[in-house]
Every structure is written in C-alpha cells, then in structure tokens.
C-alpha cells in the first residue's frame, strides 16, 4: 500500500544545509543561536508522528513522508493532484489539536478535495472548553465537520475528547488513544509489568536512575505564579540520579547567547550552562545530572532504555520511555495527560501535589492502589480492539506484530 505519512518527524527546517554531516543538524557542536534557529517544533511531536509508520504495513519504495510548510493556494492544488495520482492512503497524526486557538482550515480543505482515503489519529483536547463548534475557529469547525463525514477513520485520544465532540454534534469517531501507545507493545507491557518490582526496590533503597521531562519554558520560569511547576519537578529529584529531556523550552533562553550549548552526537546540552542559567536568573536549583535533547525518535528510545523509571510532566516523554520498556509515571496539569493516562490505565499524579514528595515517595503513592494485572489486561484488550478496528478500515499492522500477539495470546 502506498501511504503518505503526514507530519514525518523532523526538527530542522527543510532548507538547512547539512554540511556533509550524517547527524541531523550538521555540526558536532554549535552555539545557542544556531540551535534555536533549527527548533521548528516541539520535539515531543517526534513520538506520535513516528508512530504510524512504525505500526502500519506499507510499501517502503512508494510510500512517502510529508510535513506541510508555508504553501500557496497553487502549491496546495498541485500537492493534492500529486497525492491523488501517487498514493492510496493519507495517515495524519495529531495531538492536543482540539483547542479554541487552533486553526485547521488548511487541513480541512485538503481532506475535502483529496480523492484517496484519509485516516486521522490522536486528536485530543488541550484543556476543557465549551463543547460547541462555535467555540473553535472557522477552519477547525470545517475540519471537524469534514472529518465527521469523509475520513475513513477518525480516531481520537480519549473519553473527554469524545464527550466534547459528541456534545458539539460530531459522532463519527472512535476512541483509540494516542497511536504512540501501540508502537513496540511488547516493551510497553514489559514496562507496565515492571511496576511490580518498584516498591521492593524502594524498600531496600536500591539505586534508581530517573529520567524526566517538563515545562521549563521561560514564561513559566519568569512568573512567580507559574514557577512552581518547574521548581516542583526540580525538587522532586533532589539527592537522586536523574536526567532531564528538553523538548521545546530553549527558544526563550536568550541569556545563553554565544554559548556553545549542544552536542548532537551525545544529545547533551551543556549542564553547567543550564544549571547556572536556572539559578542565576530564576533562583531554581536544577537537580539533574544531564540535560538532553533529541532530534530522532529512535535515538530517544535508545537513550531512555538505560533508565529505571520516568517521572515527568511531558506526555510524550513518558510514552517514549514506555516504548523503551521503562515504567513511567505521568504527572498531569491539564486534560491531555490525564486523559491518556486514564485511558491506558497508566500511573499518574497531579502535578500540583508533588511538592510534598520525593521521587521515591511519589512512586510509592502513585502505585499504592495500582493493579498491574488489570493494567496488563486493559492494554491487551485495547491493542486487540485497535487492531480489529484498523483491519476493518482497510489498513494492516506490520507483520512483526504477529510475534507479540502469539506471545500474549492476543
């Protein structure tokens, strides 16, 4: 099957000169200014964009990956003609795209005019807001109406999103969760099962290596009423071995001008520069040993696999850790994280309450009534339902999923 994967993962702008290097940014080390110039999106998008091509069977020679940039009306018309002539299917992955400030008019026009089957995955709320098509921008209203009537599959993230859509008069959808949760299912089940071992490890004070991610954007750091979110995450790991993954926070760190900040070979951000910046400008002690940034989903998974536990305030930071087989506790401060955590029965914890806990006591608290067997059964059933739905809509899973299904009796 010839599939166009919409939003293939890339961080850098397409016009970047790669300078003959094999790594994504083209330099071994570079300055802050050079780094932020290339950050065109939140790197967390790498994980859900990467999911569909990992899951669905396709012809590797004739399938293609596309990320829209600024395109004129003539560009779109040419592109639609190319899609109609060269592909059987378009797969579009979204995330927290159901928001009152989001405008999906271009996507609506594309779906309306293209002749091939379009599959939509992962749409979800950012926050609760009035459930009415009049509460979104005209382009998004059109997108929801077109998705409701024309999409071969309109798959959304969770029950709260489903409830919003139903109240707004959109009914032709299926609740499947984020597609990221169906990549490497054997690893995800391994991560869920390993929650059994954590209380015992904590009881004997075993060494644990933590990975985290959060919201260290400058507007949060600079405002006393918001700074608690960053301070709480930093304080959680005091006295522990912990590393932090940046996603999109760098753009506002202009005080770091002329600093050699990032090594794309090791994926490390200069830890001394970051710790000094946090403390000197915001009075925050960043209790992390390393600071990391990834431009590739596979590299992120590989790095995450070396940790014992993820605890963090970023949804896809937790999901990529699960894909790597690492048990993950999702901290939530909005609808999107809580919705996914509840849908897949993943341990989760209110971000506003972490100030009273250390990383270890928070782990114990979040697992206090966690039923691992029930969570395993829940995941296997969700996987089975998702695959059955996909096959009923004309797509197929990659052949290697058979090994997982045989082992888990799916």
Does 20 have pLDDT greater than 80? Answer: no
- Which residues are CB-contacts of 254 (< 8 A; sequence separation ≥ 6)? none
Whose tokens are 């966690």? That residue is 370
28-32, 127-131, 148-152, 386-390: which has the minimum mean pLDDT? 28-32
Does 97 have pLDDT greater than 80? Answer: yes
DSSP 43: T
Q: Is 7 helix (H, G, I), strand (E, B) or coil?
A: coil
Residue 284, H or E segment: none
Task: Name the residue among 391, 393, 387, 392 with its Cα closest to residue 408.
Answer: 387
Domains and their CATH numbers in the chain: 3-180+381-408 (3.40.50), 182-372 (3.40.50)
Distance CA 157, CA 103 (A): 19
Q: What is the pLDDT of residue 11?
A: 52
Task: Name the residue among 248, 188, 193, 236 with its Cα closest to residue 211.
Answer: 236
Higher pLDDT residue, 322 or 264?
322
Average pLDDT (118-122) is: 96
Q: What percent of the chain has pLDDT over 70?
A: 94
Overall pTM > 0.85: yes
Residue 38's pLDDT band, with cuts at 50, 70 and 90, is confident
């Amino acid at each position: 099957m010839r599939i166009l994967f919409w939003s293939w993962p890339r961080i850098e702008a397409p016009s970047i000169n790669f300078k003959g290097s094999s790594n994504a940014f083209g330099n071994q080390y570079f300055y802050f200014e050079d780094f932020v110039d290339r950050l065109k999106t939140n790197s967390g998008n790498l994980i859900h964009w990467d999911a569909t091509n990992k899951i669905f069977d396709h012809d590797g020679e004739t399938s293609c990956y596309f990320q829209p940039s600024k395109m004129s009306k003539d560009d779109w018309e040419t592109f639609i003609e190319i899609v109609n002539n060269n592909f059987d299917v378009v797969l579009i992955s979204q995330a927290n795209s159901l928001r009152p400030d989001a405008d999906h008019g271009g996507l609506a026009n594309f779906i309306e005019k293209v002749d091939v089957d379009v599959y939509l995955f992962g749409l979800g709320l950012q926050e609760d807001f009035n459930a009415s098509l009049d509460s979104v921008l005209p382009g998004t209203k059109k997108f929801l109406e077109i998705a409701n009537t024309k999409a071969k599959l309109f798959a959304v993230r969770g029950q709260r999103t489903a409830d919003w859509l139903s109240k707004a008069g959109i009914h032709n959808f299926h609740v499947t969760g984020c597609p990221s949760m169906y990549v490497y299912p054997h690893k995800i089940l391994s991560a869920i099962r390993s929650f059994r071992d954590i209380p015992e490890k904590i009881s004997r004070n075993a060494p644990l290596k933590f990975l985290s991610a959060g919201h260290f954007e400058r507007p949060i750091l600079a405002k006393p009423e918001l700074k608690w979110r960053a301070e709480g995450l930093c304080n959680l790991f005091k006295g522990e071995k912990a590393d932090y993954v940046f996603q999109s926070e760098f753009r506002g760190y202009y005080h770091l001008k002329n600093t050699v900040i990032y090594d794309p070979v090791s994926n490390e951000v200069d830890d001394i520069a970051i710790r000094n910046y946090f403390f000197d400008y915001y009075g925050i002690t960043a209790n992390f040993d390393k600071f990391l940034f990834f431009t590739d989903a596979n590299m992120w998974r590989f790095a995450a696999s070396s940790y014992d536990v993820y605890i963090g305030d970023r949804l896809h930071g937790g999901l990529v850790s699960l894909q790597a087989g690492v048990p993950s506790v999702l901290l939530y401060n909005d609808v999107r994280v809580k919705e996914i955590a509840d849908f897949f029965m993943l341990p989760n914890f209110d971000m506003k309450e972490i100030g009273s806990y250390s990383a270890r006591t928070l782990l114990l608290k979040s697992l206090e009534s966690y039923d691992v067997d029930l969570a395993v059964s829940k995941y296997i059933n969700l996987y089975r339902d998702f695959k059955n739905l996909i096959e009923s809509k004309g797509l197929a899973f990659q052949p290697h999923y058979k090994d997982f299904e045989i082992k888990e009796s799916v």
